[in-house]
Amino acid sequence: MICYVLSDTTLEKCLKTVERNRQWIDACELRIDFLDEENRQNASTFPDMVDIPVILTHRRKQDGGQYTGSEKQRRAELLNALEGNFAYVDLEEDIKKNELDIKARERGIKIIRSYHNFECVPDDIYAKVYQLKKRGDVAKVAVTPKSIQDVITLFNAESELSGIDKIIIGMGEFGTPTRILYRRTGSILTFCSENETAPGHISARKLKELYHADEINDRTAIYGIIGNPVYHSASPQIHNPAFRAIKFNAVYVPFLVDSVRHFFSLAEIMKMRGFSVTIPHKIEVLSYLGDITREVKQIGSCNTVVRKPGLWKGSNTDYYGFLNPIENDIEEGRIRSALVIGAGGASQAIIWALRNRNVKVTILNRTLEKAQTIAKNNMCKADTLDNANKYSGKVDLIVQTTSVGLGNDTSPIPDFEFTGKEVCYDIIYKPKMTKFLKDAQAKGCKLHFGDEMLFEQGKLQFEAFTGYHYPKQIHPEI
């Protein structure tokens, strides 16, 4: 089930929220700790207002809720609410068996015993699930993974705790995959909301329409994107609708990754079929690949990994994705020289692509030594960002490959004097119009945007993942 967490202050507003999201959800959780006092007293009437199962929850502040009153009053309000036709009631682990359990049993309401940890994933998490299940119908643990290794622990719950009705939730950024792939943790449901009532909540619409989270089964092929950061990525919008269009049982999920080594362990556990690689892992993944394409050998970085019998194979679609929008300008001689800003994994693919088209390249980077190493391997020049203005009016193309401008209004070359004749290309796609591109546009430069490159390289990744051409009828919103 996809379960919506209702955090409105009145029952009327809660009802409207359910109606607004009804097409995407299978259940809802009425958080009466958010309700005002009058509506809290009438909470028992809510289940009869909707046509889906309702979970009753009255969460204390210490467990991530809003309630700050006395425990005696909270229990009294829960008892009063249990007069309603709720499907479940959520009771925290430290509440001893009392009148709440008895009344829930009398009313045929199933008990969810829950444990919350906003600091970490405890070492004894599996034991906690067993203990919680002994005291209820469903065991729920909402914990906070701090690494991809913690995420492995949560996904192992399906095999370690088989046969137990449970809800396993990873809160925060590392936990996002557990919310989408909740069925792969063995969970009976996943929670969602529009206003992130709990850390890491995803909207109901996105869970249903983009990820089809409730339809994922043992035969669903798992793909993804790894990076740090990663949740700005529009790649799920490229791949998931295309999977759907060709009726391919697969899902593409973002993974925040702090350790490439541990991610490959997770990929084996989940039997992943392939994944995209973004900053800062495009070089580090090379150590874990059993086969690489010619482009990866030449470029020295990888953005696409596909499972082959007995090994992982790496390729690089950044090369082709970058070139596609400017191919005509190169072929017709309008681009013969370029400045490439940055010396990371993406820049290496771009530099190699340009050099293969006989474009003269100068790499500008904050650290000169790193740029010089790449320049030596690609027979081009290197310089520091401080000297950017030296090249004003002397190059046809300027490519911005760093993360500068991602989430802020800054440029890696803030004082550069554009002449208006340059073609300017920023591989960042959120925001579409970065400070670098704004400065270039103000001088009349021709612009190319990161979403162009993203879509072109994404189509090639899709073909590598599935063996099918990207469906022409799909035009993703990036």
Contacts of 302 (CB under 8 A, 6+ apart): 277, 282, 283, 285, 286, 289, 292, 296, 314, 315, 316, 345
Q: Are 58 and 32 in contact (CB under 8 A)?
A: yes
Contacts of 355 (CB under 8 A, 6+ apart): 361, 378, 379, 380
Is-cis flag, bond preceding 431, omega within 30?
A: yes
Which residues of the chain, if any, have pLDDT below 70?
Answer: none
Q: What pLDDT shows up at residue 405?
A: 83
DSSP-H helix ranges across 246-366: 260-269, 294-299, 318-323, 327-331, 345-356
Sign of the alpha-carbon dihedral angle for 25, 28, 33, 38: positive
What residue has token string 């009349």? 444
**CATH number attached to the domain at 224-319+456-466:** 3.40.50.10860
Dist. CA 401–CA 320, nearest whole Å: 15
CA angle 148, 152, 156 (to 5 degrees): 170
Q: What pLDDT shows up at residue 262?
A: 98
Q: What pLDDT shows up at residue 403?
A: 86
Q: What pLDDT shows up at residue 386?
A: 94
Question: 229-257, pLDDT tens digit by residue?
Answer: 898 889 999 999 999 999 999 999 999 99
Q: What pLDDT shows up at residue 308?
A: 96
Single out the residue of 2, 1, 474, 6 nearest to residue 240, CA to CA.
474
Q: What pLDDT shows up at residue 97?
A: 79
- Strand (E) or helix (H) holding 341: strand 337-341
Q: Are 50 and 18 in contact (CB under 8 A)?
A: yes
Q: Would the CATH topology of 2-219 be identical to that of 224-319+456-466?
A: no
Class of domain 328-454: alpha beta
The token pair at 409 is: 């209004």
DSSP characters over 96-140 = -SSHHHHHHHHTTPEEEEEEE-SS---TTHHHHHHHHHHTSSEEE
User: Which residues are tagged catalytic?
Assistant: 282
Q: Which CATH superfamily is domain 2-219 in?
A: Aldolase class I (3.20.20.70)
DSSP characters over 14-35 = HHHHHHHHGGG-SEEEEETTSS
DSSP state letter for 214: G
Q: What pLDDT shows up at residue 406?
A: 79
Q: What pLDDT shows up at residue 173?
A: 93
Q: What pLDDT shows up at residue 272?
A: 98
What b/e readout covers 447-476, taking b as 16+ CB neighbours within 10 angstroms? Answer: bbbbbbbbbbbbbbbbebbbeeebeeebeb
User: Which residue type is seen at 361?
Assistant: V
Q: What pLDDT shows up at residue 411?
A: 95
Phi-psi map region of 3: left, alpha, beta (phi>0 left; psi -120 to 50 alpha): beta
Dist. CA 370–CA 121, nearest whole Å: 38
Domain ranges of the chain: 2-219, 224-319+456-466, 328-454
Q: Are 331 and 345 in contact (CB under 8 A)?
A: no
